[in-house]
């Protein structure tokens, strides 16, 4: 699997998949819907899938001494590695904003979503949706990616919309806490995000392997 991952990174991947990881730092921006950064990293991964199709990567890989299911696993591994790096990077501004910058007025006056553990939970949920809807959708045919990506865009922007509006409802205002206020709630949403990411990715991988096994290349 390590060889396949290396192949993904050296041959199949678009440079944009790596460059767009930097969007994780958007969580430093005040007055910006920071959840959009998770969409950008998915857009970078989408570019790699375009390259995969243009370069006949699936057929090339299928002819290597690997099993068909390994091809699917390697694509998911590549996506989760990029998502992990993005997640680590976007966690840096979150931690900084939760600690040393928690009282800075520009962030306190921010009308949009705050960078806290709830934000990270939502980020993981959106990444999970990408794996489920886009990557899983791609492996239904191994060449059609427009429809699954449009479906992902709709769901991702709904998730961003919910994340950005939910805390304006008084009952949910604690979701936009600063620093470590309402830490239990923040942690709960974060753990839910981690669980949903793992669950959605696992379901998607299982389904994608089954679908891809049936495809004639």
User: What are the residues binding another protein (CB under 8 A)?
Assistant: 3, 6-7, 10-12, 54-57, 59-60, 62-68, 214, 216-217
Q: Residue written as tokens 């049936």?
A: 214
CB of 207 to another protein, least distance (A): 18
CB of 73 to another protein, least distance (A): 13
Name, in order, each residue with C-beta under 8 angstroms of 17's C-beta and a sequence gap of 6 or more: 44, 45, 47, 48, 82
CB of 3 to another protein, least distance (A): 5
Residue 32, classified by CB atoms within 10 Å of its CB into exposed (0-12), middle (13-18) or buried (19+), is middle
Q: Residue written as tokens 């921006």?
A: 29
> Given the complex with another protein, which of 14 and 38 has the nearer CB atom?
14
Buried b (16+ CB within 10 A) or exposed e, 90-112: bbebbeebbeebbeeeebeebee
CB of 151 to another protein, least distance (A): 27
Q: Residue written as tokens 């936009």?
A: 176
> Given the complex with another protein, which of 54 and 103 has the nearer CB atom?
54
């Amino acid at each position: 699997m390590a060889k396949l991952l290396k192949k993904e990174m050296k041959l199949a991947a678009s440079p944009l998949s790596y460059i767009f990881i930097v969007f994780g730092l958007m969580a430093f921006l005040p007055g910006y819907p920071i959840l959009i950064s998770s969409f950008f990293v998915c857009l970078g991964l989408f570019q790699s899938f375009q390259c995969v199709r243009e370069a006949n990567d699936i057929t090339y890989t299928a002819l290597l001494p690997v099993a068909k299911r390994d091809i699917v696993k390697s694509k998911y591994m590549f996506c989760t590695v990029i998502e992990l790096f993005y997640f680590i990077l976007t966690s840096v501004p979150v931690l900084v904003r939760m600690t040393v910058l928690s009282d800075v007025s520009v962030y306190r006056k921010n009308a949009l979503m705050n960078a806290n553990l709830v934000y990270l939970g939502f980020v993981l949920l959106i990444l999970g949706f990408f794996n489920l809807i886009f990557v899983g959708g791609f492996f239904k045919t191994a060449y059609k990616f427009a429809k699954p990506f449009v479906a992902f865009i709709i769901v991702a922007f709904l998730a961003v919309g919910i994340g950005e509006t939910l805390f304006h409802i008084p009952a949910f205002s604690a979701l936009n806490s600063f620093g470590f206020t309402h830490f239990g709630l923040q942690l709960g949403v974060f753990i839910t995000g981690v669980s949903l990411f793992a669950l959605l990715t696992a379901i998607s991988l299982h389904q994608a392997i089954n679908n891809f096994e049936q495809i004639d290349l």
